[in-house]
Structure 1
Amino acid sequence: MSLNVLITGGAGYVGSHVVKTLEKSGYFTVVYDNLSTGRADWIPDAELVVGDIGDQAALSRVFKRYSFDAVIHLAARVSAPESIKKPLRYYADNLCGSIALLKQSRKHQIPCFIHASSAAVYGNPGVAPVGENAPLLPINPYGASKMMAERAIMDISGSSDMRWTILRYFNVAGADVKTCVGQRPENPVHLIPKACRAAGLGQDISIFGDDYDTIDGSCVRDYIHVKDLAHIHLLALEYLAGKNPSIVLNCGLGRGSSVKEVLNTAQRVSGKNFTVNRKPRRPGDAPVLVADNALLKKTLNWTPRYQNVSEIIETSWICHQRLTGRRSKN
């Protein structure tokens, strides 16, 4: 199947892997990205248009220039702690940006729309694993902005023929060891790349809260490898192209790992020790977020290639070493 696909945020970490996966399957991809966190050299074979997601005029020109069969919306701000400090920025980009894209999608009669949402929409669900029908009670502006964008998609599609798939990401991690695209070892944001940096440099790393009601007191998260997640986007695109109904799907392995477990595993995989500092809890952090992925597996016939957090960390560590070694030689 060959379709023309617009991918917003396609030059970023997840986006570059989605682009590569779709291109290998014969899709023509156009990436729309402001390159604030992404890089053009991560998507060398894609058509790149540089622009902001909230720029209606720029979006309109892109939609007029190409005839898209589908839109995959990945452009977003993704840090829950940052969203506490900068809520307006998150509502502007994640909600208003989504609405700008939906406006053009409806105007140009796009039949298939895939949206990258987040497990943060559940807030603190109080159950593990959590299913797609659980109440949406976000506890930070990031989760709230994603929840509102979901509702906008559902409402706007009700006045058109657009069908959608909402993918609720849990914690995305890992790397493609052949290319190492999407990796920024010099300024990591999330836990696993931070652990790799700590191992590589012998730096300290912090745990925010070790008094939660979990197996070891630290937060528990469900980690999914970025290549497995990229494959889900391909399957979701095929699902919608097959005229199947709109659906919400959790994207996770279905098993949790605590922060302490991740850090211990990173030390074992790397063979390096680092100091772990205990700090107070951060506002907006849920104790446990683990996916019930039964619907994902059933609907898309999906099976993860990377089955545990140790395998995920191994790929991150390989790429961390490769990229930092390359920089030290330059």
Structure 2
Amino acid sequence: MPHLLLTGASGYIGSHTAYCLLKNTNYHLLIVDDLSTGFKENIAYLQECFGERVSFVQSNINDISKMRPLLLHYQFEAVIHFAASLIVGESVLKPLEYYTNNTLNTTNLIALCVEYGITKFIFSSTAAVYGEPDMALIPIDENAPLLPINPYGASKMMSERVLADTAKAIQNFNYVALRYFNVAGASMENTTEILSQSKGLGQRSKNATHLIKVACECACGKRESMSIFGTDYPTKDGTCIRDYIHIDDLASAHLEALHYLQSTNTSNIFNVGYSKGYSVKEVIDIVKQVSGVDFKVIESARREGDPIELSAKNDKILSLTQWKPQYDDLRLIVKSAYDWECSLK
């Protein structure tokens, strides 16, 4: 009975990845999550769909006294590590919390893997490790300089370094770090019936900051308005450009990362995006078109640290793994996000 350990998988990305793994493999999953930012509803839905193949332990991964018995008992084939703090602005105000939760806790988890002979580790990283890249480097590849401009990005960069150094020092320990770009949308497995029962998987974030989520909240009448932060950037319409990837495509990248580790026993780092970007105004316009709602948008001043453009060069993951994105369509991404948002009570 092969097992995988997923940390932080009651959240948005982790729960979709868990669904993908359960649907496409025979693994049993143990999810460890303290529910500080995750949701019991996601765990309940996974258990409803896949029964005893999903186990859950409510704990922070920094509780070594709880983690040791789990690693000893289950003898996990691999660890997929999502548990982290991820709000950029909050990281600036609370840097010590971010370095503790994102870097120190990850380091301790890696140490436990080494201690218990777990040799495969998949790490949830971020495009924030690149900081504000030179426009000449866009779309950006994995060899670009790592110049994070906030504690969130820096904490993830440090964790990548810990993984790289561990892989060099410990024979047979290998990892894949997936650098996410802008993740959006809801599970394409959701049906009208599932949504009508307030079930399924999507972005449940409290106090959302992601553009598509915020715009869909406006379209569903949950917000009176939203802001565009900066309309004077050197882009076609003056607003920032980002690479938006559908959550199901990001989830499948974790499955292919696992296959990559199993087949190559080699460590690597992959960008996960579509290698093209859309402006803030373009995204908002599509949300308005899909929803049929002309919600209020306020033009505000720039936010410090927002790169002009950030999109992923994805040649590496496409060439070295079997990853094949299926939902590279911004309108489809928005439609799934909007339907999901309207279903949330």
Q: Which moved more, 1:178-187 or 1:208-217?
A: 178-187
Q: What is the aligned partner in structure 2 of residue 69 from structure 1?
A: 77
Residue among 210, 214, 230 paired with 1:190: 210
Letter in 2 for 1:216: D
Residue among 101, 104, 119 paired with 2:112: 104
- TM superposition shift of 1:293: 0.2
Q: What is the aligned partner in structure 2 of residue 82 from structure 1?
A: 90
Q: What is the aligned partner in structure 2 of residue 22 from structure 1?
A: 21
CA distance in 1, matches of 2:117, 2:253: 24
CA distance in 2, matches of 1:86, 1:145: 12
Q: What is the aligned partner in structure 1 of residue 51 from structure 2?
A: none
Q: What is the aligned partner in structure 1 of residue 242 from structure 2?
A: 221
CA distance in 2, matches of 1:116, 1:182: 18
Residue by residue over 1:279-324, the C-alpha shift from the partner in whole angstroms, topping out at 9 and shown as x without a partner, is 222223222110000111111122211112211001001111122x
- TM superposition shift of 1:185: 6.9
SS class of match (2:264):
coil
SS class of match (2:124):
strand
Percent of pairs identical after alignment?
43
Matched, 1:175 2:186: yes
Q: Where in structure 2 are the equivalents of 1:138-157 lying within 5 Å? A: 138-157=148-167
Q: What is the aligned partner in structure 2 of residue 39 from structure 1?
A: 39
Letter in 2 for 1:167: L
- TM superposition shift of 1:147: 0.4
CA distance in 1, matches of 2:69, 2:291: 47
Displaced runs of 4 or more, over 6 A: none
Residue by residue over 1:82-135, the C-alpha shift from the partner in whole angstroms, topping out at 9 and shown as x without a partner, is 212221111111111111111101101111110010000001111210000000
SS class of match (1:21):
helix
SS class of match (1:285):
coil
- Which runs of 5 or more residues in structure 1 are unaligned? none
CA distance in 2, matches of 1:69, 1:123: 33
- TM superposition shift of 1:10: 0.9
CA distance in 1, matches of 2:206, 2:264: 43
- TM superposition shift of 1:55: 2.2
1:32, 1:51 within 8 Å by CA — same for their partners in 2? yes
Letter in 2 for 1:154: A
CA distance in 2, matches of 1:303, 1:216: 31
Letter in 2 for 1:321: C
Across the aligned residues of Structure 1 and Structure 2, the Cα RMSD in angstroms comes to 1.5
2:185, 2:202 within 8 Å by CA — same for their partners in 1? no
SS class of match (1:7):
strand
Residue by residue over 1:47-97, the C-alpha shift from the partner in whole angstroms, topping out at 9 and shown as x without a partner, is 111111222222222212211010001111111122122211111111111
Q: Where in structure 2 are the equivalents of 1:171-320 lying within 5 Å? A: 171-177=182-188, 178=190, 179-184=199-204, 187-201=207-221, 203-320=224-341
- TM superposition shift of 1:197: 0.5
TM-score normalised according to structure 2 size: 0.90
1:20, 1:43 within 8 Å by CA — same for their partners in 2? no
Residue among 51, 57, 65 paired with 2:65: 57
Q: What is the aligned partner in structure 1 of residue 50 from structure 2?
A: none
CA distance in 1, matches of 2:176, 2:126: 13
Residue among 65, 71, 95 paired with 2:103: 95
2:9, 2:18 within 8 Å by CA — same for their partners in 1? yes
Q: What is the aligned partner in structure 2 of residue 132 from structure 1?
A: 142
CA distance in 1, matches of 2:309, 2:253: 23
Equivalent pairs, count: 323
